[in-house]
Structure 1
């Protein structure tokens, strides 16, 4: 009985309780996301109440049209020239690198032997202690500009500069390296006028009493007769000259000048064409004897040979390897004593081709330095001496 009363009372109470939003809860499913706060940004077209495509057409149609026109004008791409500017910058950088490379390589390019050291065609940079002292002592050059040195200056050079009123300037070693193309300059460089050897037409008669010989020099297309002294001794009563025919290596020319001066030759004649000029390199290799030995040039070697033989009685002996013509070929032993009879000009030729054929045909005699070993041993690789060594041996053969 009590159970029935309790059950009827509870039903009445449950019906009296009203749950808020009960109808809404029945219609929708309750989830976590529904009760979790979400901050959603309202789009621009939603604020204006417009469709997204219509809103963009209205606000940005002119921008798209401008970009389209720019693409058409630039070939369809790169509307703001960004790509073009990028490639232009790359090309400019590559061009700058190539120019730097060419400039750097040109500073260390190997110079041709005939070019010599000519950074300035009006100035020579004579380097080396002996070369500078010889140049200041001989005074063959018309003027001296300045003496550049690094560190303490040689007392003899200092005295010669003071005597000749030559300005001295102490500089860094790098500048001396640039003046001399990184040669061995002994920390002293003399800036002066290039050495200009006189042009010779031909050689004349020999005066044994005065120890002089006549020569004809070319001065502004006019022949001027002058005289030159020579040395004499028991084995040498006549002058000895050296003629270089197209010797192109300045080191060979310098070595020949040094040997000729040391052994006692009287002068030297260079072919005007295809012969190494008297550059500072030649002066350095010759240890300054280039400034002391009389040196001439000739532009017409054939005429020089013929007139010297006719007017002065000079004898031309040419260094040659062939002995096909035995009638006018001399041995090394036969050279001794020739200077007691006649004045002699020793002719030596190019390092590779030797003396030219037209000069060889106009020579009085030919001479060859004999091969000291068995002819079948090593002759195929070494068949001759260096031109400077061969010239020194031949000069010694004449004077001893």
Structure 2
């Protein structure tokens, strides 16, 4: 995981203070320390839960907050429901500063199993990353994915498969909110997430630096035809409209997932996969 000590970050989240909720999200946020924890609110009696796993997890959160002198307040379920708009908070809500991202201009060439991230802010130094020992790097770029449920699912899957990086459009994308963190099962707190002001330019320059750009599209080709000699960026489009025209232009190849039914049989039933599901299938194939 990238350490941010020497990197200037730009917020790309909801404004103000986040009410982070759910055991996994809160525990991971405390572990990575990408946010500043301000206050922990715990449902009364939760520390005495009969569920051993939950009791152990809550105890660990309380221990971390105590060590860091984060104020702990016990309250009723109603207050926690209000803070989370009645979402499943598991009796834990932590007030924290928003998580922040680093803006990127492009990915630099891969050489000697290392490559650099070129920040969009000229005042920031490039960040060096090492390629995995058993494969070439794989990054995910999201072209205006706006549903927080989909974004959370994508982040969770990307983290599970060990995707090397995730890039979002800085405009017209779902913000990195507590909802996204909860849906990601806390993976949003663990994974390094980046933004770009112009996805087309990011892809173009990264391609010039030796990265293969793959676009996920219904009219794409089979994965079997792909070469495996370049680092890759896999691009997914908006849930409703797919990849924008200017983004498709910068893709070397469009790829798709073949279903078991003929196209004419699928029409009127299920024409395509959810973007989060499609991402999981494609990444599991590409990362092998």
Which stretches of structure 1, 4 residues or more, deviate above 6 A after TM superposition? none
* RMSD across aligned positions (CA): 1.7
Choose the corresponding residue for 2:214, options 317, 320, 332: 317
Which residue does the alignment assign to 1:173?
77
Choose the corresponding residue for 2:26, options 117, 132, 143: 132
- 1:158 aligns to what SS in structure 2? helix
Which residue does the alignment assign to 1:200?
104
- Counterparts of 1:345 and 1:123 in 2: how far apart (Å)? 33
5+ residue gaps, structure 2, are 1-12, 48-57
- Counterparts of 1:244 and 1:201 in 2: how far apart (Å)? 15
- Counterparts of 2:250 and 2:120 in 1: how far apart (Å)? 22
- Higher relative contact order structure (alpha carbons within 8 Å, sequence separation ≥ 6): 2
- Counterparts of 1:334 and 1:130 in 2: how far apart (Å)? 39
- Counterparts of 2:21 and 2:128 in 1: how far apart (Å)? 31
- 2:94 aligns to what SS in structure 1? strand
Choose the corresponding residue for 2:241, options 345, 353, 358: 353
- Counterparts of 1:277 and 1:288 in 2: how far apart (Å)? 15
- TM-score computed with the length of structure 2 as normaliser: 0.87
Which residue does the alignment assign to 1:277?
175
Structure whose alpha-carbon radius of gyration is higher:
1
- 1:169 aligns to what SS in structure 2? strand
- 2:73 aligns to what SS in structure 1? strand
Residues 309 and 178 (structure 1), Cα distance of their counterparts in 2 relative to 1, 3 Å cut = same
Choose the corresponding residue for 1:227, options 128, 145, 155: 128
Contact 1:198–1:296 (Cα < 8 Å) also in 2: yes
- Counterparts of 1:157 and 1:229 in 2: how far apart (Å)? 32
- TM-score computed with the length of structure 1 as normaliser: 0.63
Q: Write 1 or 2 for the structure with the bigger share of helix.
A: 1
- Please state how far the C-alpha of 1:230 moved relative to its aligned partner: 4.3
- Counterparts of 1:258 and 1:375 in 2: how far apart (Å)? 30
Contact 1:333–1:397 (Cα < 8 Å) also in 2: no
Moved more, 387-396 or 223-232: 223-232
Which residue does the alignment assign to 1:218?
120
- Counterparts of 1:292 and 1:178 in 2: how far apart (Å)? 26
Contact 1:218–1:224 (Cα < 8 Å) also in 2: no
- Counterparts of 1:290 and 1:249 in 2: how far apart (Å)? 15
Residues 137 and 230 (structure 1), Cα distance of their counterparts in 2 relative to 1, 3 Å cut = farther
- Counterparts of 1:388 and 1:205 in 2: how far apart (Å)? 28
Contact 1:270–1:297 (Cα < 8 Å) also in 2: yes
Choose the corresponding residue for 2:230, options 311, 334, 342: 342
Contact 1:302–1:359 (Cα < 8 Å) also in 2: yes
- Counterparts of 2:158 and 2:257 in 1: how far apart (Å)? 17
Contact 1:201–1:223 (Cα < 8 Å) also in 2: no
Choose the corresponding residue for 1:149, options 28, 42, 47: 42
Residues 343 and 128 (structure 1), Cα distance of their counterparts in 2 relative to 1, 3 Å cut = same
- 1:377 aligns to what SS in structure 2? helix
Which residue does the alignment assign to 2:140?
242
